[in-house]
Amino acid sequence: MAGVSPPGRPHGQRNRVVPGDARQRARGGRIINNGSISAHAPRPRSVAYTATKHAITGLTRSTALDGRAHDITCGQIDVGNAATDLTEAMAAGVRQPDGSVRPEPRMDVADVARAVCYMASLPLDANVATMTVMVTRMPFVGRG
């Protein structure tokens, strides 16, 4: 996982934030990185995933800072339990901090898409630095 998640992103974002050609006239843009609430409250046995999501947070903040001179904004959306193939096991039950295995609710992935669309719809003089979108009944607040 660490071979793909953070190492690949800085190369792509560096090329977008620092123009390779000083004659380039196009300016501005928006980058929205996909973080995770795991960076704020990790699940048991998730050290690699959590570490890479912390890296994305640092990358987002650095890109937002470096992008200012080029009118490029950068924000991050932290998603919790969107209903995708990747989270199917959560409906059956996942390990909790107390060692128990309990099912967790999931939300429609369209809700995440609407949140990303909102972030993308803002003018370049406004930015959502971080947004958390999650299931209302998710055991995130107070996890641990």
CATH of the domain at 61: 3.40.50.720
Residues 6 or more apart from 14 whose CB is under 8 A from it?
A: none
Length of the chain as a residue count:
144
120 in a structural domain? yes
Question: Which residues are 82's β-sheet partners?
Answer: 107
Residue 78 near residue 35 (C-beta atoms within 8 A): yes
85 in a structural domain? yes
Per the structure, the complete domain to which residue 121 belongs is given by 5-134
> What average pLDDT does the segment 116-140 reach?
93
Split into its structural domains, the chain has a count of 1
50 in a structural domain? yes
Residues 6 or more apart from 99 whose CB is under 8 A from it?
A: 44
> Does the structure show a pLDDT above 60 at 16?
no
Choice between 144 and 63, residue whose per-residue pLDDT is larger: 63
96 in a structural domain? yes
Q: pLDDT digits over 18-59, tens only?
A: 555 555 667 899 999 999 988 888 888 999 999 999 999 999
Q: How is residue 32 annotated by DSSP?
A: E
Q: What's the rounded Cα separation, in Å, for the pair 45 and 89?
A: 15
Q: What's the rounded Cα separation, in Å, for the pair 84 and 63?
A: 28
30 in a structural domain? yes
Percent helix, percent strand, percent coil in the chain, to nearest 5: 40, 20, 40
141 in a structural domain? no
